[in-house]
Structure 1
Amino acid sequence: MWSIGETARKLGVAVSALRYWDERGVVAPAARKSGNRFYGEDELHCLAVAKMLQDTGLLSLEEITTIVRGPVDGDSWRTAVNARLAAIHAQQQRLATAEAFLNHFLRCPNEDPVAGCPHLRKDTEAMLGSIT
């Protein structure tokens, strides 16, 4: 068993974060002795998974809680994972589109691609329909 301070150091988080996660139901300590929280191996594992998910910057604490708690709530963890994956895939598509546009701007021989690139003009006309 590890104290909350030891656990926080192992995870690289503040003690207050572990208290908050406990209050929010992410991971409860294995034991409380004299008002102090203590964590076992299983709790450390779950906390480490929660920290790894949080470090991605893509999941809410609610989603992390649902995932870490696992089958306690039926398949809700799977629903949360599938929803987040769908959002990530959509974000990847938007990023790929942005990357393609920005790379085109850099490769375009025209000094002012927005004003003078015929390829970009063709793309905007396709998007807007004929403006003439």
Structure 2
Amino acid sequence: MDGLTSIRTVADHFGLPISTLHYWERRGLVVPHRRARQRFYDTAQVYRVALIQPWRRSGLMGIDEIAALLSRTENWRDVVDSRMADIDAQQDRPAAARRYLGHLKQCDHGPSLEDCPRF
């Protein structure tokens, strides 16, 4: 159909509920073509869905941030920097917890960490 893909096909391909694509449309993230009251996506819009899905799935990027990235507003680089900082912080927390637990395991003070000079 003129290089257009139905909403059902797009939803099935990406494992998304159709309601998610409707929501993304309402928020301006995707713009389907309409024929006989049905939604169809051209290649560019399918590509946008492919970009949006992992950003949303990761939980690190909200709809407004995704909209800023897709629209290339002035602050899109700030959005990327902020997300990268969040990812770095998320990676640092488990590493710090691991160091803490490793120290706890090795500490001569045992579970009485209030006596440990490094606590």
Contact 1:66 1:77 in 2 (8 A): yes
Residue in 2 aligned with 1:130?
none
Q: CA deviation at 1:100?
A: 0.8
Q: Per the alignment, in what secondary structure is the counterpart of residue 16 of structure 1?
A: helix
Deviation of the 1:53 alpha carbon = 1.3
Which has a greater percent of helix?
A: 1
What percent identity do the matched residue pairs reach?
30
Equivalent position of 2:21 in the other structure:
18
Question: What SS does structure 1 have at the residue aligned with 2:31?
Answer: coil
CA distance in structure 2 between the partners assigned to 1:116 and 1:82 by the alignment: 37
In structure 2, the partner of 1:9 is 12
Q: Which residue in the other structure is 1:60 paired with?
A: 62
How far is 1:3 from its partner? 1.0
2:112 maps to a residue whose letter is A
Determine if contact 1:4/1:38 at 8 Å carries over to the other structure: yes
Bigger radius of gyration: 1
SS of the equivalent of 1:122 reads: coil
Paired residues of 1:108 and 1:117 also in contact (CA < 8 A)? no
Query: Given the two structures, how large is their TM-score scaled by the length of structure 2?
Result: 0.83
TM-score by length of 1: 0.76
**Structure 1 alignment gaps of length 5 or more:** 125-132
Runs of 4+ in 1 over 6 A off after TM superposition: none
Q: CA RMSD in A?
A: 2.1
- Higher RCO (C-alpha under 8 Å, 6+ residues apart): 2
Q: How does 1:30-45 map to 2 (within 5 A)?
A: 31-45=33-47
Q: Judging changes above 3 Å, is the alpha-carbon distance between structure 1 residues 66 and 113 closer, same or farther for their aligned structure 2 residues? A: farther
User: 1:99: how far off?
Assistant: 1.6
Match of 1:90 in 2: 89
Secondary structure (helix, strand or coil) at the match of 2:118 reads helix
Distance 1:109 1:122, change over 3 A: closer
In the TM superposition, residue 109 of structure 1 has moved relative to its aligned partner by: 6.5
